[in-house]
Structure 1
Amino acid sequence: MTSARTSPVSPAETDDPAGRRRTGPAEGPVAPRRLPVPDWLWAALLTLAVACVGIGRAQPWRDELASWNAATRSTGELVGMLGHVDAVSGLYYLLLHGWVSVFGDSTAMLRLPSALAMAGAAAFAVLTARRLFDRRTAVFAGLLFAFLPAVSRYGQEARSYAFVVLAVSAATWLLLRALERPLPRRWAPYALAVAAAGLFHVVSLLFLLPHGLIVLLRWWRERTGRTLVGFAVTVAVALVPVVPLVLLGQRQAGRQIGWIKTPHLRGIADLWNNLFGSPTIGLAVAAVALLPLAWSRGRRPAVELLLAGAAPILAAWVVSQGSTSYFIDRYVLFTLPAWAVLAAAGLAALRPRAVGALALAAVVLLGLPDQRQLRTEWARVGLDGGAAARVISQGYRPGDGFVPVRGGDRVFMIDFQVEYFLPENVRLRDVFAERSAVASDDLFPRECAQPVRCLGSTQRVWVVTWSGTKNPYHKLPKEQADALAAHYRVAESRTVRGLEVSLLERVK
């Protein structure tokens, strides 16, 4: 009898060049095998493609213009500013500073890093779904995440929130990976993700609450002490670079987020609608996200995802009952991947399977009106800074002055709305700026205490105020309005969307 180890090879069996046995016809060319595209890769590419559609169409709003203003300063000027304002956005500003120095500061280029970050978040959401559930859920998660209106909204915004979503999404997957084999080489990348999330936005550290609860649940089931120790040590190390930022951010919080109101219970429902960029999508996600809890095979991972999505929102509500409120949808945007995966698991559990696919398609279609709306020119801002800049450019003369509405309305950044669109050869003198924003290490200049003295010999001044009134000095501080009225006459005035642009000439 011939043993299995020494049995002759049949004519249909040959060895390939790598030494592996191949079964099949001995003659004829063998077609090369195509490597399948990983699910995380196509999900990332799809999310990037969706986020890039119309990425430069909507005019940038004031927060994006703050990013532009900070990123276009020199590194030293930017670091100096962060010591006084917006320290919590410092890492993002530094990243954007390097980006615009290479790719320019067009609206599309300012926003493209956020689109890339959302694409990365989609990849980790799919990896998380695959680790917790199955491939069908992973595919559904990739499709659902890519077409959430909020993903496009913040994938097209020059702010740090997409990077926070990326960091937290990566941290969640890395935690699950580390919990399977709690070794130092698996905890180390988790520490980097935690640190990155905190440095991009300190409020995102709320995700450590559900992560801690997930670790406790796993420990309770497995009773592996090194899991608890590994998690605690990793988080402690990760927070070392974040602590100084937290302390600095607390000193700046009153100025930056003092406008956020203390939330009531009803605020949770309002936040939920805004979180997804569409009340309809928010309702649909809430409905299907509950399904995996009734699915015995997926109940444990569903509970973990529910913690990852809900706990930070509830924690933000509780913390915001104190002196400072952090309860706003974009601050908890990092929960989106968890909700997308949980909803995908619910859709994937529907039977027959075609019902789940049809339900996913319905959710995507429900979001299309909101997708179209957020790509309109006026989706984020109700005034046309570009048109105001064109009016000034057409009538500009060297030496012209500039007076935008500031005072109590400086947070609306009318000056940035206009300055962003001005061509480089149009250089206006900021008449009432006693000390520039750069020299003041601030986003805003220090304005003159005695406006009359700051007028100097300026012959012509462009004044940009809110529209809707015949008063060319509407909303200007009284001292500034009186100084202009006493020394200038209105030569012309043009109304553009939301703004009044007036050219003043000195009275001789």
Structure 2
Amino acid sequence: MIDECDSRGAIGPAAARPRGLPVSPDPGAGRVRGSARFDPLGAALLTFAVACAGSGTVQLWRDELASWSAALRSPDELLAMLGNVDAGSGAYYLLLHGWVSLFGDSPAMLRMPSALAMGGAAAFVVLTARTLFDRRAALFAGVLFAAIPAVSRFGQEARAYAFVTLAVAAATWFLVRALHRPTALRWLPYGVAVTCAGLFHIVSLIVLLPHALIVLGRWWDARSWRLPTGYALAVLASLLPLLPLMVVARGQVGRQIGWLHPPHFRDLAGLWSTLSLSVPVSYALLAAAALPLAWPRGRRPAAELALVAALPVPAAWLISQTGPSYFLDRYLLFTLPAWAVLAAAGLGALRPRPLGVVGLVLLMALGVGDQRRLRTEHAKGPGDGKRAAAFIAAGYEPGDGLAPVGGRSERLFMFGPMVEYYLPEHVKPRDVFAERSAVAAHDLFPTECGRPARCLDGVRRVWVVTWSGTSNPYHGFPPDQEKALRDHYEVVGTTTAGTLQVTLVERTR
């Protein structure tokens, strides 16, 4: 344990040392020896392996299909799209574009970058736990983080949330280092991590609030301006590169998340139940996380880390009351590393020591059922794009058209890409109601034809894709598109694929 800070980077003399400095050594002051050096790597590999398990089984859903559509475009096409929609995901789309160019776009490959990012987050979970508590807590934290169902869910999700989790976990670790010795070389990686968090999801910048409160508390103890000044400069430098993105994304927010409504009080409790994607795991985490607050050796670090874990939730709730709503469980996924460290510290502090191991095994067991559920084929949605594509491929003829239900349904569920992703390479029906393709429109969605009857000229057969559970093969279509199909086509065959209905219609006149 550090008894006083030395002159090379002291926050203050021994008499003024902030109470509650982490009880383990300064992470930059000495070298970790023995097998402990490999703890972060072990946690990273474990989390990566768990996240990859079954990642090729689950069918892609709407958000992942948007990522796929964006990643297949050239950099120029992608940048043109980002000027109109989804600028906040631009950094992830560019990264995924490079990845897909090298490794292809199978479900497992599309999702593997997220698994790698979750593995990186696990390494920072271990580093943070080892610095604030001890090696036992670090080992528990690495295992516990990998066992949380939401870590698997978003570790096999072709979206940016795993990268946000990695960036915030890294920023928290770098903050811990800077609290020990607030030098420019320690603030620099903190600022870079904050910038990365904002690039991948602007909402994650809420974490700056608990970070600032931690710095303020340390300043209150030491009464030295070195720490808050370094923090303020690091945050300012990290936010400056994000300003253009904030301006562009702000103009797109209505289209991106306009479907979200201001949350109610009951949504606070509801979010906690869904944050880990397992109700029993959520409440077991909360119970274990409360334990180090009663542990004298870890009370101050645990209280500070609890700010990182808990404060973003009510902060996002309050912000969402007066403007666009950002209150969504996956937007706050970045709080899970802090919760994992807190819970691991609590379990690690239990005596006798085997009791902590029992608690860890029990918590892991609570999530087994949800882990299995997350790996079923339709875990992310009931639409069966693979089966629908197989039906079309079996009866496809060159020159066939495709008519996925458009309008609001297409924007919410992406029926067209859901089927097109699973079609064989040689099966390429043309979207008959697309006046301009999504790429040509610089958008995620095509521009719909203004005169549907004319757009059907010369098309003998059309594969119509809409909702299942209805006898109307054109359910959900705009009236003018439905009329054009009814007037000129008759039904040849139909099938259902989960919530999808695919109908082949052939021209009569």
The TM-score range, normalised by the shorter chain, is over 0.9
Residue 492 of structure 1: how far off its partner (Å): 1.3
Which position in structure 1 is the counterpart of 2:10? none
Task: Provide the rounded CA distance (Å) in 1 between the counterparts of 2:494 and 2:137.
Answer: 59
Task: Provide the rounded CA distance (Å) in 1 between the counterparts of 2:499 and 2:490.
Answer: 23
Question: Does 1:420 pair with 2:421?
Answer: yes
Task: Provide the rounded CA distance (Å) in 1 between the counterparts of 2:413 and 2:139.
Answer: 42
Task: Provide the rounded CA distance (Å) in 2 between the counterparts of 1:368 and 1:319.
Answer: 35
Which position in structure 2 is the counterpart of 1:398? 398
Which position in structure 2 is the counterpart of 1:96? 96
One-letter amino acid of the structure 2 residue matched with residue 497 of structure 1: G
Residue 349 of structure 1: how far off its partner (Å): 1.1
Task: Provide the rounded CA distance (Å) in 2 between the counterparts of 1:336 and 1:102.
Answer: 31
Which position in structure 2 is the counterpart of 1:238? 238
One-letter amino acid of the structure 2 residue matched with residue 449 of structure 1: G
One-letter amino acid of the structure 2 residue matched with residue 430 of structure 1: D
Matches within 5 A, 1:11-160: 38-160=38-160
One-letter amino acid of the structure 2 residue matched with residue 458 of structure 1: V
One-letter amino acid of the structure 2 residue matched with residue 467 of structure 1: S
**Contact 2:41 / 2:123 at 8 angstroms: preserved in 1?**
yes
Which position in structure 2 is the counterpart of 1:161? 161
Report how many residues are paired.
476
Task: Provide the rounded CA distance (Å) in 1 between the counterparts of 2:357 and 2:221.
Answer: 34
Q: Write the deviation string for residues 186-215 of structure 1: whole angstroms up to 9, x where unpaired.
A: 111111100000000000000000010111
Task: Provide the rounded CA distance (Å) in 2 between the counterparts of 1:120 and 1:292.
Answer: 25
One-letter amino acid of the structure 1 residue matched with residue 453 of structure 2: V
Which position in structure 1 is the counterpart of 2:210? 210
Residue 491 of structure 1: how far off its partner (Å): 1.2
Residue 323 of structure 1: how far off its partner (Å): 2.4
Task: Provide the rounded CA distance (Å) in 2 between the counterparts of 1:419 and 1:314.
Answer: 40
Residue 137 of structure 1: how far off its partner (Å): 0.6
One-letter amino acid of the structure 1 residue matched with residue 467 of structure 2: W
Which position in structure 2 is the counterpart of 1:453? 454
Which position in structure 2 is the counterpart of 1:435? 436
Residue 35 of structure 1: how far off its partner (Å): 5.8
Task: Provide the rounded CA distance (Å) in 2 between the counterparts of 1:306 and 1:69.
Answer: 39
SS at match of 1:502: strand
**Contact 2:36 / 2:135 at 8 angstroms: preserved in 1?**
no
One-letter amino acid of the structure 2 residue matched with residue 499 of structure 1: L
Question: Does 1:361 pair with 2:361?
Answer: yes
SS at match of 2:311: helix
Which position in structure 2 is the counterpart of 1:249? 249
Q: Write the deviation string for residues 287-318 of structure 1: whole angstroms up to 9, x where unpaired.
A: 11111111111110011111001111110000
Task: Provide the rounded CA distance (Å) in 2 between the counterparts of 1:409 and 1:111.
Answer: 25
Residue 261 of structure 1: how far off its partner (Å): 1.7
Which position in structure 2 is the counterpart of 1:301? 301
Which position in structure 2 is the counterpart of 1:171? 171
Q: Write the deviation string for residues 122-169 of structure 1: whole angstroms up to 9, x where unpaired.
A: 000110001101111111111100100010010010000000000000
- Identity percentage over the alignment? 61
SS at match of 1:490: strand
Question: Does 1:286 pair with 2:289?
Answer: no
Task: Provide the rounded CA distance (Å) in 1 between the counterparts of 2:311 and 2:495.
Answer: 51
SS at match of 1:462: strand
**Cα RMSD after superposing both structures:** 1.1
Task: Provide the rounded CA distance (Å) in 2 between the counterparts of 1:254 and 1:35.
Answer: 51
Task: Provide the rounded CA distance (Å) in 2 between the counterparts of 1:322 and 1:436.
Answer: 36
Which position in structure 2 is the counterpart of 1:275? 275
Residue 34 of structure 1: how far off its partner (Å): 7.8
SS at match of 1:189: helix
Q: Larger radius of gyration, structure 1 or 2?
A: 1
Residue 276 of structure 1: how far off its partner (Å): 0.6
Which position in structure 2 is the counterpart of 1:474? 475
Task: Provide the rounded CA distance (Å) in 2 between the counterparts of 1:36 and 1:170.
Answer: 19
Question: Does 1:408 pair with 2:408?
Answer: yes
SS at match of 2:322: coil
Q: Which shows bigger deviation, 345-354 or 95-104?
A: 345-354
SS at match of 2:504: strand
SS at match of 2:435: strand
Task: Provide the rounded CA distance (Å) in 2 between the counterparts of 1:132 and 1:286.
Answer: 19
- Runs of 4+ aligned residues of structure 1 deviating over 6 Å after TM superposition are none
Which position in structure 2 is the counterpart of 1:465? 466
**Please, which runs of 5 or more residues in structure 2 have no aligned partner?**
1-32
Task: Provide the rounded CA distance (Å) in 1 between the counterparts of 2:477 and 2:356.
Answer: 57
One-letter amino acid of the structure 1 residue matched with residue 194 of structure 2: V
Q: Which shows bigger deviation, 99-108 or 431-440?
A: 431-440
One-letter amino acid of the structure 2 residue matched with residue 289 of structure 1: A
Residue 496 of structure 1: how far off its partner (Å): 2.1
Residue 36 of structure 1: how far off its partner (Å): 5.7
SS at match of 1:474: coil
**Contact 2:308 / 2:335 at 8 angstroms: preserved in 1?**
yes
Task: Provide the rounded CA distance (Å) in 2 between the counterparts of 1:36 and 1:403.
Answer: 58
Task: Provide the rounded CA distance (Å) in 2 between the counterparts of 1:320 and 1:85.
Answer: 21
Q: Which shows bigger deviation, 401-410 or 33-42?
A: 33-42
Residues 178 and 77 (structure 1), Cα distance of their counterparts in 2 relative to 1, 3 Å cut: same
Residue 71 of structure 1: how far off its partner (Å): 0.4
Which position in structure 1 is the counterpart of 2:6? none
Task: Provide the rounded CA distance (Å) in 2 between the counterparts of 1:119 and 1:36.
Answer: 17
One-letter amino acid of the structure 2 residue matched with residue 299 of structure 1: R
SS at match of 1:128: helix
Task: Provide the rounded CA distance (Å) in 2 between the counterparts of 1:76 and 1:255.
Answer: 22
Task: Provide the rounded CA distance (Å) in 2 between the counterparts of 1:240 and 1:301.
Answer: 30
Instruction: Tell me the TM-score normalised to structure 1 length.
Output: 0.92
Residue 502 of structure 1: how far off its partner (Å): 0.9
Which position in structure 2 is the counterpart of 1:10? none
Task: Provide the rounded CA distance (Å) in 1 between the counterparts of 2:496 and 2:63.
Answer: 24
Task: Provide the rounded CA distance (Å) in 1 between the counterparts of 2:212 and 2:383.
Answer: 45
Q: Write the deviation string for residues 360-384 of structure 1: whole angstroms up to 9, x where unpaired.
A: 1000001000000000001111011
One-letter amino acid of the structure 1 residue matched with residue 490 of structure 2: R
Task: Provide the rounded CA distance (Å) in 2 between the counterparts of 1:288 and 1:299.
Answer: 14
Task: Provide the rounded CA distance (Å) in 2 between the counterparts of 1:349 and 1:495.
Answer: 54
SS at match of 2:445: coil
Residue 274 of structure 1: how far off its partner (Å): 0.8
Task: Provide the rounded CA distance (Å) in 2 between the counterparts of 1:180 and 1:122.
Answer: 22
